[in-house]
Every structure is written in structure tokens, then in C-alpha cells.
Amino acid sequence: MSARRSLLDSIGATGTAIFLGAVGIAIFLSIWTIASHSLDSAVLLPPPLTVLQTYGGLIADGSLAQDVRASIVRVFGGFLIASSTAVPLALLLAYSRILRGLVMPLIALIRPIPPIAWIPLAILWMGLGDPPSYFITAIAAFFPIFLNAFAGGASLQDEHVNAARSLGATPFALLKTVMLPSALPMIVTGLRIGLGQAWMAVVTAELVAAQSGLGYMIQISRLNLETARVLVGMTVIGLLGAVMIGLIGVFERRVIVPWHYPR
């Protein structure tokens, strides 16, 4: 007991986190291995080692990279569409009472519709291929970005506005130098959630409406009963999603709103 504690102490906080995380994953992989051996079926649950070998094959023939690229392009396409519309709209609505009254009820009605329910319309309007996936990822990312940016814009304090006006700020300067930065922490939170949502939605869209990408790859592999490939697709999605969201977090602390996290 005391020996273990001194081991954790000696590697520091970051080391401890990495060590514990690795142990957790190792335990998970052992359970997986045992389970797959007792099931003894490559279709129901192939062991991690087989999945790893499948990784090797898919990386070697370049098909994994292709699918990853297709999905990432769609995620960022939809994410860009969503953020470039949601942020200005949200700030405008936070600023204008009339616009808010006009648009908010509409948003409240559309928001509960899950992205997947838009797929039939998207296919009808745009056919199969890339466009419906952009549309679906954009829908998925839009609402978290919009709602957070709106909350950020609405939380602008009267005192900040009055102070800025007394210091000589024009209305435009007010929007740019006071409203935008004061909403920024919440906007970034929205972007982070929106990116996660877009990443989940792209797989959904590709399962149904696309002919490439990780979702498509999972779907085809399922039809071919190549469960190891399905697991490759799933784990890649998990890994890449975690990395992206982590990167946004770093970007947020270092570049976008460092004042929010003083050292």
C-alpha cells in the first residue's frame, strides 16, 4: 500500500494520470481478450490482436487513410458551415430584441429534431454522396454552437457596455471589441461541443447516405460480416474524436481565451 503510493508520488501528477489511464485500458483489453476467447467467434467479437492486425492491413493498403480523410473533410465542412452561420446569428439575436422575438420560437421548434431525422430530406434534396453529409454534420453542430454563442452574447454586462461607451466606443466598436470577446469563452465551448456532435453525426450520415468515409466502411464491413473491420472503424472514430476535442481545448487555453485561464 505505502509502496504503491510512493511509486505514484515519484512520477508526479501527469505521470500518475497517464499511468492510471494505461492501466485502465490494459484491464479493458484483457477483459475483451478473455471474452472473445470464450465466445470463440470472429464475427461476434474478434480479439484485440486480430483487430490490431486488421489495422495493419488497412493502413498498409491505404484504405483506412482514405476513409479517415473523407470523414474528416465532411466533419470540418459541416462544422465550418455551422459555426460561420451560428455565431453571427446568435450574437445578432443577443443584440436585437426584435430579431430575437422573430427567430427564437423557430429555433425552439427545430432544435429537438435529431440530425438523423433530416437524412431522408437531405437525400431527396441532394442525392447520395458528399452534400447530405455536410448538411447533416452542419445541422448537428449548429445548435450547440448557436445556443452557447447566444448565451455568451446575452451575458454581456450593462456595466461593460456603459464603461466602453463612456470611453468613446461606437456601436460597431462595441460589437467587435466588447460583445465578441466577452462572448468568446462560451463561443469556444459551443465550438467544442459542436465539433463532437458533428463527428458523431458524420458517421450516422455515412452509414446511410454516403459512399466513402468511416461510417460507410463500418456499414460495408458489417454486411460482409468483417467484424474486425467494424471495430477498426469504431476505435478510429473514438481516437480521432478524443484527439480533436483535446486539441480544441489546448487551442482555447493557449490562443483564444488565455485570459480566462490565468496562470
Residues at the contact surface with other proteins, assessed by CB under 8 A:
157, 159-160, 162-170, 173, 177-178, 181-182, 184, 257, 259-260, 262
The residues, ordered by sequence, that sit 6+ positions from 236 with a Cβ below 8 Å of its Cβ are 64, 68, 214
- What's the closest the beta carbon of residue 187 comes to other proteins, in angstroms? 12
Q: Which is nearer to other proteins, 160 or 222 (CB)?
A: 160
The least CB distance from residue 257 to other proteins, in Å, is: 7
Q: Which residue number, 151 or 240, has a Cβ lying nearer to other proteins?
A: 151
Q: What stretch of H or E contains 250?
A: helix 227-251
Query: Measured from the CB of residue 18, what is the shortest distance to other proteins in angstroms?
Result: 30
CB nearer to other proteins: give 42 or 173.
173
Closest CA to 183 of 54, 96, 67, 92: 92
CB 174 to other proteins: min, Å: 10
For other proteins, give the closer residue by CB, 94 or 178: 178
Alpha-carbon span 71 to 174, nearest angstrom: 39
What is the Cα Rg of the chain in Å? 23
The size of the chain, in residues, is 263
Least distance CB 191 / other proteins (angstroms): 17
From the CB of 181, what's the least distance to other proteins, in Å? 4
State how far the Cα of 116 lies from the Cα of 124, in Å rounded to an integer.
14
Q: Which runs of consecutive H residues, i.e. helices, occur in 41-174? A: 48-60, 63-95, 97-110, 119-126, 130-154, 158-166, 171-174
* Least distance from other proteins to the Cβ atom of residue 247, Å: 22
Nearest residue (CB) to other proteins, 40 versus 158 = 158
Dihedral sign (CA 9, 15, 21, 24): negative
- Name the residue nearer to other proteins (CB basis): 96 or 162: 162
Nearest CA among 70, 81, 78, 108 for reference residue 196: 78
The residue among 181 and 241 lying less far from other proteins, judged by its C-beta, is 181
Rounded CA-CA distance 96/243 in Å is 37
- Ordered DSSP codes for 179-232: IHHHHHHHHHHHHHHHHHHHHHHHHHHHHHH-SSSHHHHHHHHHHTT-HHHHHH
